[in-house]
Amino acid sequence: MANVNLIRSYHSFLILEKALSDNTVEAYMSDIEKLLSFSEQSAFKVEKARYKDLQNFVKKLGEEEVSNSTIVRVVSSVKSFYRYLYFEGVIKEDPSLLLESPKVGKHLPDVLSVEEIDKVIAAVDMSKTEGQRNKAIMETLYGCGLRVSELISLQLSDIYRKEGVVRIIGKGNKERLVPISKTALREIDIYCEEARSRLSIKPGYEDFVFLNRRGAQLTRVMIFTIIKNAVEASGLKKNVSPHTFRHSFATHLLENGANLRVIQEMLGHASITTTEVYAHLNSKMLRDTVETYHPRAKG
């Protein structure tokens, strides 16, 4: 059994030093739990693991028919864990140094056409109290290319109307400015005036843009459900999730001629390499890109 304090200190390291999001930390720790479980079954301590032990662990994951993409993530988590142990002086050699992941093909999520985006949004039941909110949510996902976690955390005070941008706190608490389409802004305004203003908002949630019926923050699951219901109502036969809107946002910009580097800045992505990060781009350049290339630009 691994040293419990060791696991706790690694958990703290991910939160405090790496500044990873809650979801990422949870994924890392879940992967290390898999390793811990395997080490107990195979009678070795994780802090004394050899390269062969880790090889057998990856092989076991494959035998359990775990997807290649999941194995790649687990291997990445294991490597991170052993790098931490090595730099902390817990181990003298890193047994994961040569550990390899299975090759994973580049799989891209479905992309919706502008017509399909319109069809899904048009399928929102506007007779329901939450109809305008749900419409505004989808326009914001598509108009800004946000992650679900960023959408549900969006604050009214983070919307800069004059500049046409929203302030987003993304992964690792990194801040960025993202242009917001005129269409998304209009739908948010209608929602705030018609539905949000009638809510009894709970203390602490006054600044959140999108709220549930009880006046509190929406959850990730609720956003997935909203999208799922709209897609079913539209009759669209595609696997659509909130990320589909984000991916469609980026794809439509790229297809219409926008610069890939600018798109990556708006999405909050780091460089493909581990040593280079994209240069900071000012908000005017980002806004001009959306106004020139995004299908919703003219509102």
Tens of pLDDT, residues 100-152: 776 555 445 578 999 999 999 999 999 999 999 999 999 999 999 999 999 99
* Structure token digits, residue 5: 């304090």
Domains (ranges, CATH) in the chain?
A: 4-87 (1.10.150.130), 114-293 (1.10.443.10)
Catalytic residue (one of 51, 86, 205, 278): 278
The strand order across the sheet containing 175-179 reads: 159-160, 165-169, 175-179
Tens-place pLDDT, residues 215-262: 999 999 999 999 999 999 999 988 899 989 988 888 888 778 777 777
The answer to whether 294 is a known catalytic residue is no
Please report where in the chains the tokens 């009678």 appear, as a residue: 43
How far is residue 56's CA from residue 258's CA, in Å, rounded to a whole number?
A: 46
The answer to whether 243 is a known catalytic residue is yes
How far is residue 234's CA from residue 231's CA, in Å, rounded to a whole number?
A: 5
Residue 132 near residue 195, CB atoms below 8 Å: yes
Catalytic residue (one of 34, 133, 147, 296): 147
Predicted pLDDT at 106: 46
> In terms of C-beta density within 10 A (0-12 exposed, 13-18 middle, 19 or more buried), how is residue 134 classed?
buried
- Phi/psi at 50 (nearest 5 deg)? -105, 165
Q: Cα angle vertex 270, ends 264, 272, to 5°?
A: 95
pLDDT above 90 covers a percentage of the chain that reads 51
How far is residue 299's CA from residue 295's CA, in Å, rounded to a whole number?
A: 9
The answer to whether 269 is a known catalytic residue is yes
Pick 99 or 113 by higher pLDDT.
Answer: 113
User: Measured in whole angstroms, how far is the alpha carbon of residue 136 from the centre of its chain?
Assistant: 19
The answer to whether 246 is a known catalytic residue is yes
Give the count of alpha carbons within 13 A of 259, CB side only: 11
Nearest to 153 by CA among 199, 227, 210, 221: 210
Model-wide pTM > 0.75 = no
The answer to whether 287 is a known catalytic residue is no
Nearest to 172 by CA among 149, 141, 190, 188: 149
Catalytic residue (one of 11, 18, 167, 171): 171
208 forms bridges with which residues in the sheet?
A: 155
Tens-place pLDDT, residues 5-37: 888 888 998 988 888 888 888 989 999 999 999
Residues 153-181, mean pLDDT to the nearest whole number: 91
How many residues are given for the chain? 299
The answer to whether 11 is a known catalytic residue is no
Catalytic residue (one of 34, 73, 135, 246): 246
CB atoms inside a 10 Å sphere around CB 123: 18
Please report where in the chains the tokens 């399928």 appear, as a residue: 123
CB atoms inside a 10 Å sphere around CB 46: 25
